[in-house]
Chains A and B, each alone.
Chain A
Amino acid sequence: MNNNLSSFVVACNDQCTGCRACEVACFTVHNQKDNKVAHTVGTVEIPVTPRLFLTRLEEFCLPVQCKQCEDAPCLNSCSAKAIARIDGVVYVNEDLCIGCKNCMMACPFGALEMLPIAKKGKAVKQTGSDEVRKSAYKCDLCINIEGGPACIKTCPHDVLKLVNLEEDRREKNIKAAIALSLTGNL
């Protein structure tokens, strides 16, 4: 069971219209408990901190998020041991993060960002300074959140899906095998 490859969320370029509903949903579900962000906009008192990033260029438009790498460069490079793998998900513990940005340098996909930490509806200050404390944030597949990845559920265009490459490979194998069997013995 534990030999399985990690799942991750991917987006389909052909369907995305760049509405950013995924970003808002991501922020909302991650701040419901600690920061009392509810489903209506009037409850947002803190900075909006999504963990996936809409990326728009000439020919494409789609959100980019963490691929939950098997040998994760962010985890390997973390100087504070703030990043761990929990049930296949590469997870940042914001209480431990010191904001050294090693993970940002190491990630080949730009899937992490340093964002302000908020608790109890207020920005958390640095020890010994009035500046806002920041932590690395990345997609955690909504592991502690009921209903699974909020971005997938919210997207009005069905752009996002959770991929399971083991299953995907197995299906492709079956299709290839059927095709081969039809060609007869060579």
Chain B
Amino acid sequence: MSMGIPEIENAKLLFIFGYNGADSHPIVARRIIKAKQKGAKLIVVDPRITESARIADMHLQLKGGSNMALVQAIGNVIINEGLADQKFIENHTNGYEEYKEFVKKYTPEYAEPICHVPAEQIREAARAYAKAETSMILYGMGVCQFAQAVDVVKGLASLALLTGNFGGPNMGIGPVRGQNNVQGACDMGALPNCYSGYQSVTDDAVREKFEKAWGVKLSNKVGIPLTHVPHRVLEEKDEKKKIHAYYIFGEDPAQSDPDLNEIRETLDKLDFVVMQDIFMNKTGLHADVILPSTAWGEHDGIYSACDRGFQRIRKAIEPKGDVKTDWEIISLISTAMGYPMHYNNTKEIWDEMRSLTPSFHGATYEKLEALGSIQWPCRDESMEDKGTPYLFTGGKFSHPDGRGKFFATEWRPPCEVESPEYPYTLSTVREVGHYSVRTMTGNCRALANLEDEPGWIQMSPEDCGKLNVKEGELIRVFSRRGSLMTRVLPTERVKPGATYMTYQWWVGACNELTTPYLDPVSNTPESKYCAINLEKIDDQAWAEQCIKDSYESIRKKMGIDTAKKEV
């Protein structure tokens, strides 16, 4: 995020795009409500009526997969109605003329049939966004989990450039990232293309620095993104390029990744799979070795929040049984593989990382202790450098020339659209009571008590009427890749033709249905759009028994005590 999470409360306008805080991040949702109470205007762009959409001043209920057309139509209106911040554009940006030329054709009337949002509503949203004293964009997976994702992010950033909504407090653009430390994983270089602090693996000077520090030769090639793994296992002919072993930790691709059939085939085809996690999960069923590790309350460390804020976490209880922390396991594996690695605590690891990462160098344990949280960049160890609450102060951007770059491109439809055979769309979403792939929350009796297998499919009452299905009834859902059973949840909050499922259920696993199409830059899969069909099940008793048997069988395979489940 270019801003800090607390700043959300003070923005004059929140432009929430494909982001459902109430279900994904109740704590951030609280800031949105506070902002509204303080008088902020709320514009929500979402195909569903989310809790934010419900209380918004304006809800643009667009059709899924039309983001780029809508974003550029907003840019078009801002320029055509003379609402752009010419001074900011002149002093701090590049590429405005090309942008202006490109979005010319993206009039609201052009976007209306693509987005299913009335042209006049697009105009009103654009005016409100441009005219507010400080406008802040918050976006989520409704932007990122499309095959056209990075383009939309750049398109949204262009709106902020266009209106000068960068460089000051309570403005900017914020990807509200999901898991508590997904930002931290990226910050620490758990990406195929960079070391900690986003230092490129292809930069020779950077590589030499790390080689010197670690005393080893390092590759200068970008690695393989997670979502390319199935291809590199199943289809790669060159034995040297083929992946043979896969070490997975804190991740459950056999639940979270699209087209689970293909994932299972991949895991089974691999010569060797290691899984490291806190509980058994779907991926574990395909692993050769399982390494049990500690959970968040059982170890020390540092997390990054989505607003670049480092925070210390401290061990609350001693781990039980034969488990080790992730860093101890990594050290032991490394030592066993011939590179002796030893640390006494997480501070030693953090200090080593800081010494190699200029933009995090100032975030010492001592300073974190004193301040509670530090947002990077924080370069200097002295107490003077308290980090950076918002980026691009005074309109100075990270491009070498310090200027922001406009971006526009053609809208592309989703990769798999509706057809007579598969007339409905499916988007994967979240629900408040279960976290990510349910490795943690599915094992929690209280939460499983509130929502349990096989989960729900959200459908419009019209579609339910057409299929003659009622709330709670089991229904068969199928796509070109797979099929499953789940429960019907009629809701006025979705449009006819569109359906939504949460992706964590073991029995009603919607990723059996999703497509493996990727965004070409981020390699994130198009989890928000695929074509499906629905079929009423006449024998409900049989279906209920199938669900029960299937759940029991998964639990049995995972070695989970099934007797305890009975209450």
Which residues of A approach B to under 8 Å, CB–CB? 14-21, 23-24, 27, 41-42, 44-48, 56-61, 116, 123, 156-157
Chain B contact residues, CB within 8 Å of chain A: 21-23, 26-27, 29-30, 33, 36-37, 49, 51, 54-55, 432-433, 444-447, 449-450, 491-493, 567
18 extra interchain contacts, Cβ-Cβ under 8 A, other than A20-B432, A48-B450, A61-B51? Answer: A14-B36, A15-B37, A16-B51, A18-B432, A19-B26, A19-B432, A20-B433, A27-B446, A41-B445, A42-B444, A44-B449, A45-B567, A46-B567, A48-B446, A57-B492, A59-B54, A156-B30, A157-B33
Q: Which of B21, B27, B54, B447 has the most chain A CB atoms closer than 10 A to its own CB?
A: B54
A41 & B446 in contact (Cβ 8 Å cutoff): yes
Contact residues in B for A20 (Cβ distance below 8 Å): 432-433, 450
The closest CB in chain B to the CB of A47 belongs to B567
* A72 CA / B492 CA spacing, docked (Å): 33
Nearest B residue to A28, CB-CB: B446
Partner of A41, one of B23, B49, B444: B444
Question: If the complex has contacts A45-B445, A58-B49, A156-B27, are A17 and B33 also in contact, measured as CB distance less than 8 A?
Answer: yes
Q: What are 13 A-to-B residue pairs whose CB atoms are below 8 Å? A: A14-B36, A14-B55, A16-B51, A17-B26, A17-B29, A17-B30, A17-B51, A17-B432, A21-B26, A48-B450, A59-B54, A116-B567, A156-B30
- Among B21, B55, B444, chain A packs the most CB atoms within 10 A around the CB of B55
CA distance A45 to B563 in the complex (A): 12
User: Chain B residues with Cβ under 8 A from A21's Cβ?
Assistant: 26
Note all chain A residues with C-beta closer than 8 A to B491.
56, 58
Most buried by A among B21, B27, B446: B446
Contacts of A58 in B (CB 8 A): 49, 54, 491-493
Q: CA of A123 to CA of B493 in the docked complex: distance in angstroms?
A: 37
Chain A residues lying within 8 Å of B21, measured Cβ to Cβ, are 17
* Residues of chain B with a CB closer than 8 A to A61's CB: 51, 54
Consensus secondary structure, chain A interface: loop
Cβ 8 A contact of B51, one of A18, A42, A45: A18
| Closest beta carbon of chain B to A56's beta carbon, Å | 8
Could you say which residues of chain B place their CB within 8 Å of the CB of A123? Answer: 567
B449 → chain A closest CB, angstroms:
4
A-chain residues with CB within 8 Å of residue B26 when the two chains form the complex: 17, 19, 21, 156
**In angstroms, how far is the closest chain B Cβ from the Cβ of A110?**
15
Contact A60 B450 (CB under 8 A): no
Contacts of B51 in A (CB 8 A): 16-18, 61
Q: CA A123 – CA B55 in complex, angstroms?
A: 41
A19 to B33, CA, bound (A): 13
Task: Give Cα A116–Cα B449 distance, bound, in whole angstroms.
Answer: 13
Inter-chain CA distance A57–B450, complex, in Å, is 19
A1 to B55, CA, bound (A): 40
Of the candidates A15, A46, A57, A60, the one whose C-beta lies within 8 Å of that of B33 is A15
- Once the chains bind, are B22 and A18 in contact (CB under 8 Å)? yes
In the docked arrangement, what's the CA distance between A77 and B176, Å? 51
Q: How far is the CB of A20 from chain B (nearest CB, A)?
A: 6
Rounded to whole Å, the gap between the CB of A127 and the closest CB of chain B is: 20
Query: Which chain B residues lie closer than 8 Å to A18 at the CB level?
Result: 22-23, 51, 432
How far does the alpha carbon of A23 sit from the alpha carbon of B433 in the complex, in Å? 12
Q: How far is the CB of A21 from chain B (nearest CB, A)?
A: 8
Asked whether A23 and B450 contact (CB < 8 A) given A41-B444, A45-B567, A47-B567, the answer is yes
Identify the closest chain B residue to A60 (Cβ): B54
- Chain B: minimal CB distance from A160 (Å): 14
Q: Report B359 CB to chain A, min CB distance, Å.
A: 33
A53 CB to nearest B CB, Å: 12
Cα-based distance from A157 to B33 in the complex (angstroms): 8
